Amino acid sequence: MGLYNKYILPNAIDWACKQKSSMMQREKIIPLASGMVLEIGIGTGLNLSFYDKSKVNHLTAIDPSTDIWKKNSFDTNTLGFGFDFIEAFSENIPAYNNSFDTVVITYVLCTIQDTDKAFDEIKRVLKKDGKLLFCEHGKAPDRGIERWQNFLNPVWKKIGGGCNLNRDIKFIIERNGFKIIKLEKMYIPGWKPASYNYWGIAEIK
Ligand SMILES: C[S@@+](CC[C@H](N)C(=O)[O-])C[C@H]1O[C@@H](n2cnc3c(N)ncnc32)[C@H](O)[C@@H]1O
């Protein structure tokens, strides 16, 4: 899987994540980020153009794959605020306690291996009155689609860089000490098993 992960997967992820429907989702959530911001699993940087430079002081982005990040086509010097990229996993975030006002996750909870550990880290680095902004795909509400998600998941996970189709996003966020203060859900246009989206805002309980 070495060559596949290095050369094919980053292009496939970039293509899938920049479909019009998911770009429209980013526009709903990213402009809400403010202050010191941490984006987890930045991928190819598809959220970068949606940050509101009048609200953001600095953006730190992490991703375990520098190969994926290198596929970005955004000039971070034009962001209008400070930016740094660090190769790191969400399960071990290289940042001080209480250092961010906003943590952003988009289409990344599906792939994080140890979500409980990642949320322990998010709670550690997020200020107590900070916000978690999320936009994720996950478990569908219809039994028929959910069955397909469960059936396809083992193969999908192998070819999709560890992506799970069937994670219960609301349950995972709430189980990990967050209170969801705004939640919206719907199928966005696209392949149904991967298109049920959950997006909103959460705070530490
Ligand atoms: C489907 S892509 C989404 C990228 C980006 N967030 C977006 O919305 O376009 C998932 C990303 O999560 C990253 N990732 C996988 N496991 C991770 C982890 N444990 N911690 C942080 N990022 C992770 C992958 O390298 C990949 O860039």
Q: Greater confidence, 16 or 188?
A: 188
User: Residue with structure tokens 């992820």?
Assistant: 13
pLDDT surpasses 90 at 9: no
What does the pLDDT look like over 155-192, one tens digit per residue?
Answer: 999 999 999 999 999 999 999 999 999 999 999 999 99
Beta-sheet strand order (sheet of 126-137): 82-87, 56-63, 35-40, 100-106, 126-137, 196-204, 178-187
Does the Cβ of 113 fall within 6 Å of ligand 1? yes
CA-nearest residue, atom 26 of ligand 1: 43
Does the Cβ of 17 fall within 6 Å of ligand 1? yes
Question: How large is the average pLDDT for residues 119-144?
Answer: 98
Query: Residue 2: pLDDT band by 50, 70, 90 thresholds?
Result: confident
Question: How large is the average pLDDT for residues 184-201?
Answer: 97
* Of 110, 121, 123, 124, nearest in space to 172 by CA: 110
Sequence letter at residue 154 = P
Query: Residue 6: pLDDT band by 50, 70, 90 thresholds?
Result: confident
DSSP state of 108: -
The pair of three-digit structure tokens given for residue 3, joined into one six-digit string: 């060559």
144 within 8 A of 115, measured Cβ to Cβ: no
**What pairs with residue 85 in β-bridges?**
61
What does the pLDDT look like over 96-116, one tens digit per residue?
Answer: 999 999 999 999 999 999 999
| Total count of domains within the chain | 1
pLDDT on residue 61 = 98
Q: Among 4-18, 81-95, 130-144, whose mean pLDDT is lowest?
A: 4-18
126 within 8 A of 100, measured Cβ to Cβ: yes
* Of 43, 84, 78, nearest in space to 61 by CA: 84
Average pLDDT, the chain: 96
Range of the domain at 188: 2-204
The pair of three-digit structure tokens given for residue 88, joined into one six-digit string: 């790191």
Atom in ligand 1 nearest the alpha carbon of residue 43: 27
The domain that holds 22 is classified in CATH as 3.40.50.150
Does the Cβ of 90 fall within 6 Å of ligand 1? yes
- Round to whole Å and give the CA distance between 47 and 39: 9
Does the Cβ of 106 fall within 6 Å of ligand 1? yes
3-state secondary structure of 172: helix
pLDDT on residue 1 = 62
CA-nearest residue, atom 23 of ligand 1: 41
